[in-house]
Amino acid sequence: MKNFFDYIFRPKKNPRYEALRKYGIQESINTSMIVGPAIILAMCACLLFSFIRPDSYAEEAFIAEYRYSYAAMAIAIAIYMIILLVFKRRFDDNYKKIPALNSITVTLIIAWSIRMIILDNIAYGGVDAMLYMIVSFCIPFCFYLDARIYLLLTGAADLIVLGMYLNEGTDSAASGSNFRDFAIFVAVQLILGCLTSYLKHMMRQQLLEKEEQGEQIKQLNEAQSRFFSNMSHEIRTPINTIIGLNEMILRQNASEEINEDAQNIQAASRMLLHLINDILDMSKFESGQMKLNNAAYHTGDMLSDIVGMLWIKAREKNLAFHVDISPELPSELYGDEVRIKQVLINILNNAIKYTSEGYVRLAIQCERDNEGGALVTYSVSDTGMGIKKESIPHLFTAFKRVDEARNRYIEGTGLGLSIVKNLTDLMGGKISVNSIYTKGSTFMITIPQKIINDEPVGELDMEDHHSRSHAEHEYVESFEAPEAKVLVVDDTVANLMVVEKLLKETKLTVDTSESGPEALKKTLEKHYDVILMDHKMPGMDGVECMHAIRDQAGGYCHDSRIIALTANAGSDNESMYAREGFDGYLMKPVTGEELENTVYRMLPKSLITSTHTAQSLEEESIEWIRDHKKKTAVRISAGSVADIPAVLQSRYGIAVIPHIVRTQDGVFKDGIEIEPNGLLAYMADPTALAKSEPPMPEQLEKFFSAQLDEANNIIYVSLSSGLEEGEYPRISEVAEDFGNVSVVDSGHLSSGLGLMAIEAARLANEGMSYENIISRLERMRGHIHTTFIVDTLDFLVRQKLVSASMGSMADAFMVHPVVALKKGKMKVSKVYFGSREQAWERYIANAFNVPGKIDTRMLFITYVGMTTRELEKVKEMAEKYMSFDEVFIQKASPTIAANCGPGTFGLLFYTEY
């Protein structure tokens, strides 16, 4: 570690220098965080000590300046530490500024310390031991600077102090004592200097060891990446031959047995290829070499390719394959099409693999922003075996398969979902999982992308796409061009044979070359419209050959379209070929469809004499695009105890699940199988009891699953978590199984909870994000006012919410209690005496007397067992004190009815937040 001037004025050529420098600066910050407070405390101690020292020889002004110096140094070091903390938060942006800050601070500390020594000498006629000890400790504060700076500063301070000691007098005893003190202080400095030098040496050694280990790890990662890349290339070459020749067998329409065998070979080859791709991608992630290749792409074409790969596989298992694409999806987006396809194919393939009956569904939604971007949500759901709750945290771990005992006969490596998670993160998206074991799963992937063409994709016509899929069984060439000439360059004879055979039916004239020099001879003799070029060839590789053809003197192919046909996989390679000047890119193994489509696009249209399309598949294969149902971004839900009027449930799209009312005569669904009036009639018997309970876990699972079919995210607004045997714990436990369900504790009951749900739904309909809605609800909780005035405490006594003695006393004195929720229990908060209407009047007047400005958009009058005339009277009283845009008179849920009894009502509203 060099000093500050070396840092600034003498840049080093050593590649490790910058790492050493950063490490040293980090250590200096850590040391400053320890030494700095110690110095501040020492300064404060000296300042305090100055008030209790013997009388000074100096004037009061010197004493004041002396004390001021201590205070100023303590404040300066505190400011320095604050600046260091700010720099530390963004270390990579600011670390180059820290050495200058440290050097300036240390210089000021030394200069200020010497000034204080002089002031101490003037004020008290000598050098104080504590002051000099502080100076001795201040100087090593710069241990991360060069040792020469340390010796220079300590030497300068020692000479100054020594001179002051010599000037104190000639008394031998005093001189001896002074020199003894001085010798001790110098010894302390030497010890501290040796200690700091040792610390520097250890730091350097540790950093060098870490650098060496890092270099070794880097070399191992590079070797591993080269190995996987080479293995991928070498394996793809024979697979190209297998798949290509196997496709020729399928084209021949041989016997059913031969076709079945050929299809099995095709499936096994593609499975092997998929495995190779996963391993190669995993190695890239581990070595940090995975990169995206963003480009404009057509959403309809990409989705057609995905569906074409998987719908036949689903049909082979007798599974329904539903696809629901929003017609509002932009027709052209900017992103890594290859990686998005890889993510969706992995998820869909897993869904088909782990589903034995039912369906697999792909749904796509799009939310535009104001900056020319879109958040595209891909949802894949199935009716398969589902995932255990305890297995979900391990779902995206590489090389790990969940529920091994049950899935041991299902093929797979355990890499697919790990790659999906890594790719999604790399693209700036996120992935979540909702699953019910034995019933199915839903994977939701959101990926931000830029909009290139905002024209909606509309109703996609997949008929042509499915025809191409069917062509694997009933081949029809896509075009004929007998006058066109194609040259194929590859050092593997089998690859040349495969391309020749795959292009045979198009009537193209196909020539082949086994090396670059041989290809150059042919381009000197003949013009080729398209050249298919392998990359890795002995002698002259494909890139060199391509440039040689472009620059060939007397050659006929300067302007020919040259396509890289190579086993070098990956979007980074595709980008490299584009930079080198290739006109296209095909990755081995190549299918006949891909080869024909690419050659067709490259050929001059004047050479193409005819085009053909395969026969259409059954109408059922395109039924999936017919009916689109757009998912909402956020769905608000609550229990029936929220007491939300049906008109507001419909207006805001709030989903409500009924609670359970348990009586001595049976169990009933709240609001469906039992109404408040029926419950009150049942409880007219003093011995009758009723208890409200939240829905059972299996009911909640079905409820959330159904809502997630219609929305990407669910917010459930629950009763107060403080309620004994309330719904919050159960709802939260079930919601943990769903990655897109959040439970918000309302802190209220009845329509107070309903007000929160309504406000959340209103915000969702306005387009507010999932996270922001939850944040707004957290702020709203303390602004809702929920109270009820009851006729009698009999029902509260029966439910053991208040004591029997309190109930008897209320009846004796004609008391009308007001109940409110406090710490999770319904408790009496106030009482009013007199007739019912007098109590109502005072309750209403007092209810609106709350801090803050009342939001006058909505008022709930929630009641139990009251007549229409009584309710009109209550509404008239309320409107006398406060005018609201809408007043809803809502019958309370059986929960409130069972607890409060007839003649109960409450005013529920909220203040602005």
DSSP string, 23-59: HHHHHHHHHHHHHHHHHHHHHHHHHHHTTTSPPPSS-
Taking a C-beta distance cutoff of 8 angstroms, is the pair 788, 818 a contact?
yes
Residue ranges of alpha helices (H) inside 653-691 are 676-682
Above 60 in pLDDT, residue 145?
no
Residue type, 309: M
Encode pLDDT of 113-126 as tens digits: 655 655 555 544 44
Q: Among 62-76, 514-528, 612-626, which is the least confidently predicted range? A: 612-626
pLDDT tens-digit readout, 316-373:
788 888 888 888 889 899 998 888 988 998 899 889 888 989 999 998 988 888 788 8
Phi/psi of residue 479, each to 5°? -160, 165
> Average pLDDT, stretch 834-862?
90
CA nearest to 467, candidates 344, 587, 323, 619: 619
CB distance 193 to 140 below 8 Å: yes
In this structure, the number of other CB atoms found within 10 A of the CB of residue 361 comes to 21
Q: Taking residues 515-519, what's their average pLDDT?
A: 94
Question: If we measure between CA atoms, which residue out of 477, 519, 436, 346 comes closest to residue 739?
Answer: 436
In the predicted model, is pLDDT for residue 98 greater than 70?
no
Which uninterrupted H or E stretch holds 711?
A: strand 711-718
- The pLDDT, as a whole number, for residue 761 is 93
**In whole numbers, what is the pLDDT of the chain averaged over residues?**
76
Q: How far is the first Cα of the chain from the last one, in angstroms, to the nearest whole number?
A: 56
Per-residue pLDDT for 504 more than 70? yes
HEC sequence for 861-906: EEEECCCHHHHHHHHHHHHHHCCCCEEEEEECCHHHHHHHCCCEEE
pLDDT given for residue 821 in this prediction: 73
- The model's pLDDT over 656-711, given as tens digits with 9 standing for 90+, comes to 999 888 887 788 887 777 777 777 777 777 777 777 888 998 889 889 888 887 88
- Residue 753 tokens read as 């909870």
d(CA 127, CA 135): 12
Instruction: Dig out the tokens for 903 from the structure.
Output: 């003649």
DSSP state for residue 856 in the 8-state scheme: T
pLDDT tens, 35-61? Answer: 566 666 666 666 665 565 544 444 565
pLDDT of residue 290: 75
Model confidence over 195-234: pLDDT tens digits? 666 666 676 777 677 777 777 877 777 776 677 667 766 7
HSE-CB for 105 with a 13 A CA cutoff:
28
pLDDT over 70 (residue 469) = no
Would you call 370 exposed, middle or buried from its count of C-beta atoms within 10 A (0-12, 13-18, 19+)?
A: exposed
pLDDT over 60 (residue 453): yes
Overall average pLDDT of the 257-261 stretch? 75
Regarding predicted confidence, which is higher, 462 or 697?
697
Least confident of 546-550, 810-814, 845-849: 810-814
Predicted pLDDT at 116 = 60
Work out the pLDDT band at 25, boundaries 50, 70, 90: low
| Per-residue model confidence (pLDDT) at position 141 | 47
Name the nearest CA neighbour of 822 among 786, 847, 781, 848: 786
The pLDDT confidence band at residue 794, using thresholds 50, 70 and 90, is confident
Q: Which residues contact 344 (CB under 8 A, 6 or more apart)?
A: 306, 362, 378, 380, 445
Summarize pLDDT for 611-625 with one digit per residue, the tens: 654 333 333 333 333
- What distance in Å separates the CA atoms of residue 871 and residue 861, rounded to the nearest whole number? 8
691's CB contacts (< 8 A; 6+ apart) are 661, 662, 663, 898
Task: Please give the average per-residue pLDDT across 16-33, as a whole number.
Answer: 57
Residue 875 has pLDDT above 80, yes or no: yes
> What is the Cα–Cα distance from 646 to 668, expressed in whole angstroms?
20
Provide the pairing of β-strand 904-910 with 784-789.
antiparallel
Type of residue at 127: V
Instruction: Find the range with the poorest average confidence among 172-181, 360-369, 729-738, 768-777.
Output: 172-181
Cα distances (Å, whole numbers) of residue 377 to 295, 329, 440, 548, 789? 19, 10, 19, 46, 48
574 versus 189: the higher-pLDDT residue is 574
Cα–Cα distance, 735 to 255 (Å, whole number): 54
Tokens of 360: 């697999």
102: pLDDT strictly greater than 80? no
Q: State the alpha helices, DSSP H only, in 514-645.
A: 516-525, 542-551, 571-580, 592-602
Question: Is the per-residue pLDDT at 403 higher than 60?
Answer: no
Check pLDDT > 60 for residue 510. yes
Q: What is the pLDDT of residues 555-571, one digit of tens each?
A: 999 989 999 998 876 65
**pLDDT the model gives residue 798:** 73
Q: Is 354 helix (H, G, I), strand (E, B) or coil?
A: coil
Q: CA nearest 581: which of 594, 566, 564? A: 564
Question: pTM of this prediction?
Answer: 0.54
Share of the chain above pLDDT 70, in %: 67
Output 63 or 655, whichever has higher pLDDT: 655
More confident residue, 146 or 203: 203
CA distances from residue 293 to 28, 164, 296, 336 in whole angstroms, order as listed: 41, 72, 10, 5
